[in-house]
Amino acid sequence: MRVTIFGSGYVGLVTGACLSDAGNDVLCVDVDAQKIERLKQGEIPIHEPGLDALIKKNAEAGRIRFTTDAAEGVRHGLFQLIAVGTPPDEDGSADLKYVLAVARTIGEHLAEYRVVIDKSTVPVGTADKVKAEIAKALAARGSNAEFDIVSNPEFLKEGAAIGDFMKPDRVIVGTDNPRVTELMRALYEPFTRNHDRLVVMDLRSAELTKYAANAMLATKISFMNELANIAERVGADIEKVRVGIGSDPRIGYSFIYPGTGYGGSCFPKDVQALIRSSNAVGHKPALLEAVEAVNERQKAFLVGKIARHFEGKLKGRTFALWGLAFKPNTDDMREAPSRTIMEKLWAAGARVRAYDPVASEEARRIYGDRAELAICASAYEAIEGADALVIATEWQEFRSPDFDRLKAGLAQPVIFDGRNLYDPQLLERFGFRYYAVGRGLV
């Protein structure tokens, strides 16, 4: 099948790579000429395990191409996927200017039937706006070309996106035309052959499903962090509590790990957008507001522990920070807890020596050259002379360090663990003061 994807960011590239790998003819369109040129040269602008090799393989086979020519994109694909960003507006609502700009572009060049698919995460009612925008552009040209709108939200986890696309838990298809359902079924058939995972519904329900999924996961995270704060004050170990409740199949173990809060490009933005959408229709979403408030508080949680340990005297101190990305297997630092931690330490007059396996360049892009931040080449380089170690991301290589070397490198044997990576009793035997989340103090 011929597929056009507008937007060559995270969702667009992963979607394009996977669809082309199934034999489809994919054309990715983006307004950023520099990005398109890099993609043509084989440079992938994001870090996602396996994506470089998948795009290279299919580009060499001629199944995926990149262009800035929107008219060519509209001519190319029966399926026109909109996968551009929906950044938060000033009030936290989703900004649809890029989505609607693509809709106008499609309407300006549409000559024959097309299926226009919203992959971007958008508020309920966006499909109606996209339809109206295309219809308006067609009317201005005096064209009666036909098209259908589909809401087909993505459910890709950063760091595991290719596996999520190739073996989806579900494929949400929102449409008001049964004919389109069969076309979408054919598009996704290579990925759902073992079991039909298409879940078909109306457009508005599909749009809300994406927000509902992310809001539910964010709620589980904030709930566990709230429990961790209670556990710490009553003398319980949240890790034992986690195992106790996770063994209940109604609850399960997914997303019940306490830590320094959620970040990334999805959860913070989508929770905020759902709150604004709810307020706009006259409903105060008290639970969602609490989820967001708990998360913002949790991001600063470790800094509070640090300040108490050092009796508020942080000026002139140096802290090693392991982990910059908001989660492992990505270089994404959007809304990452590490940023809150660093910025609050800097505000208190401290310096940070940071290490992350893949997010170092992203940190340099965000913060530039500043005296209070040293980006280190290894985890052990980061701890040299530091007053304490702070852990913000649960990268695999942090899980079993050389504790003797760690103790020798630190000026003081103190660890502030925002991901509960270590056994408190083990740290006690090595002579560390160990601050974790919901586990008291060793």
Catalytic residues: 266
Tokens for 245, please give them: 């409740």
Which residue shows structure tokens 């290279």?
A: 56
Which CA distances in Å does 159 have to 156, 162, 259? 9, 8, 19
Closest by CA position to 128, among listed 202, 182, 77: 202
Which residue shows structure tokens 């492992």?
A: 328
**Residue 318 contacts residue 385 (beta carbons within 8 Å):** yes
Tokens for 23, please give them: 């034999």
Cα–chain center distance at 177: 31
What is the residue type of 39?
L
Rounded to 5°, the CA angle 20-26-32 comes to 120
- DSSP bridge pairs for 29: 6, 67
Q: Does residue 313 come out as left (phi exceeding 0), alpha (psi in the -120 to 50 range) or beta?
A: beta
How, if at all, do strands 318-322 and 388-391 pair? parallel
Which CA distances in Å does 65 have to 8, 154, 217? 11, 21, 35
Tokens for 84, please give them: 């551009």
Tokens for 375, please give them: 């980006």
Query: DSSP readout, 208-246?
Result: HHHHHHHHHHHHHHHHHHHHHHHHHHHT--HHHHHHHHH
Distance CA 303, CA 346 (A): 11
Which CA distances in Å does 78 have to 5, 184, 421? 11, 11, 48
Cβ neighbours of residue 259 closer than 8 Å, sequence gap 6 or more: 221, 225, 298, 337, 394, 418, 419, 420, 437
Closest by CA position to 29, among listed 11, 46, 12, 51: 12
| Coil vs helix vs strand at 355 | strand
CA atoms 36, 39, 41, 45: torsion sign: positive
Q: Which helix (H) or strand (E) holds 129?
A: helix 126-141
